């Protein structure tokens, strides 16, 4: 990815609003993130969310239902958990 040093120089007039929205989204994302310290387990630092709830590391193992509106990772986890429960 490349970043322009002065994006205003090369933007068309109708690109200004879209660029402002995109820049705002990027700034919001970066403000909500942090670096994983060197030597740490990435899994311990990941935050899983379905948009409504933030899941702690052990929570996904307890999910047994999901709807078509849920994120793919949540639907897969529910299917895996349900299949595992059926085998026990």
pLDDT digits (tens, 9 = 90+) for 37-73: 898 888 778 877 777 888 777 888 888 999 998 889 8
Reduced to 3 states (helix: H, G, I; strand: E, B; else coil), residue 55 is strand
Residues 78, 49 share a domain:
yes
Tell me the backbone φ, ψ of residue 61, rounded to 5 degrees.
-70, -15
Residues 28, 45 share a domain:
no
pTM over 0.85: no
Number of folded domains that form the chain: 2
Residues 88, 59 share a domain:
yes
Q: What angle do CA 29, 35, 36 make, to 5 degrees?
A: 130
pLDDT digits (tens, 9 = 90+) for 69-87: 888 988 999 999 999 877 7
């Amino acid at each position: 990815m490349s970043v322009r040093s002065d994006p205003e120089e090369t933007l068309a007039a109708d690109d200004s609003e879209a660029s402002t929205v995109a820049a705002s989204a990027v700034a919001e994302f970066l403000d909500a993130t942090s670096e994983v310290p060197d030597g740490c387990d990435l899994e311990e630092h990941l935050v899983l969310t379905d948009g409504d709830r933030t899941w702690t590391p052990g929570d996904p193992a307890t999910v047994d239902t999901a709807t078509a509106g849920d994120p793919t990772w949540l639907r897969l986890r529910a299917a895996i958990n349900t299949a595992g429960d059926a085998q026990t």
